[in-house]
Each structure stands twice: as structure tokens, then as C-alpha cells.
Amino acid sequence: MPRVRRVLLLGSISPRIDLALLVLRLYVGASLFLRHGLEKLFGSADAISQFPDPLHLGSYVSFIVATCSDGFCSILVVAGLGTRWAALLIFCNMFVAWALVVHFQFFGHGVSAGEAMVLYLGGLVTIAVAGPGRFSTDAFLTKRCRRRSGRSTAGSQKGVRPR
């Protein structure tokens, strides 16, 4: 019975949360950038005038927000830099598009833009809640700042001048 349980639960694979977050960040960020970010960054000028304007801010403003979200923030998610904020910005932009452009479409027949949007939204909210993980620029910078602040406080407590 223990062997069956181990096979069913994939017990031979140890959980690697940080690796899973890295894979999720790379998948969500890179696929969003390659499919939508590049299109917005290097698309034609005609696309701007025909861009959807769900919040009635103007097609140029909507295009700039979408370009910032899909073009720049997706790269930040991949790099793990400002990850939670970038994921939240993309999430908000995509949620507005899902709600106001495709009208919460998910269960439609055939190919639906809403289905892909729901998958992106799930990945983005997971990244925003769980954070970028250990294999990210955010984690590297946090570790570096802690080391620096740890040295200066430890040195001043012992009467040693910090370097």
C-alpha cells in the first residue's frame, strides 16, 4: 500500500516550489511577451488607431497601457524584477480586457479568447500571491540588501567601523 500511495502522489519527486515559480514566471511572462508584447512594441501605427478602448480613455492611452503591460511588465515577470507589481499590473490590464472587450467570455463554443485570458489571469494571480521565488532578481537584491545591512549593524554593535 505505501508503494501505491507513493506512485499516486508522485512521492519520488520532491517539491521544488522555487523551481515551480521560476517555470511559471518564464512560461507566463515569455508567452505573453512573444504573443502580445512584441506585437505591440513593433506593430504598425494603424494598430494604435484601431486599438480597443474599453475605459474610454482614448485608443492611444489604452495602447500605451497595454504596451506597458504586455511589453515591459512581461519582461519584468520573466526577470523576476518587481515581479509582484508587474504581475498585478498585467492582471489588472488583462482583467479589464476580459471583462469589457470579450465580456467574460469563457464557455463559448469553438476557439475563445476568454479561455486563454483566464489561464493567464490564474498564472498572474499565482505569481502575485506567491511571489517570484528564490530564482529571481527580486530575491537576489533582497539577499544582497540584507547582507549589506547585516554587516553595517553588526560592525557598529561591536565597535568596529563598517567598511
Model confidence pLDDT, tens digit, residues 59-72? 899 999 999 999 99
Collapse the DSSP code of 45 into the 3-class scheme (helix H, G, I; strand E, B; otherwise coil) and give the result.
Answer: helix
SS3 145: helix
Residue 89's pLDDT band, with cuts at 50, 70 and 90, is: very high
C-alpha 33/C-alpha 78 separation (Å) is 9
Evaluate whether 121 touches 94 at the Cβ level (below 8 Å). Answer: yes
What pLDDT, on a 0 to 100 scale, did the predictor assign at position 65? 94
Amino acid at 5: R
Q: Where are the domains of the chain?
A: 16-135
Are the beta carbons of 83 and 138 closer than 8 angstroms?
yes
Whole-prediction pTM value?
0.81
DSSP 15-40: --HHHHHHHHHHHHHHHHIIIIIHHH
How many Å apart are CA 81 and CA 49, to the nearest integer? 32
Question: Is the pLDDT assigned to residue 1 strictly greater than 90?
Answer: no
Q: Quick check: 163 pLDDT over 50? A: no
Q: Is 160 left (phi over 0), alpha (psi -120 to 50) or beta?
A: beta
Q: What is the pLDDT of residues 6-44, one digit of tens each?
A: 788 777 677 789 999 999 999 999 999 999 999 888 887
Residue 73's pLDDT band, with cuts at 50, 70 and 90, is very high
pLDDT for 151: 62
Least confident range from 6-10, 96-100, 137-141: namely 6-10
- pLDDT at res. 108: 67
In sequence order, the 6+-apart residues with CB closer than 8 A to the CB of 101 are 52, 54
Q: How far apart are CA 88 and CA 121, in angstroms?
A: 10
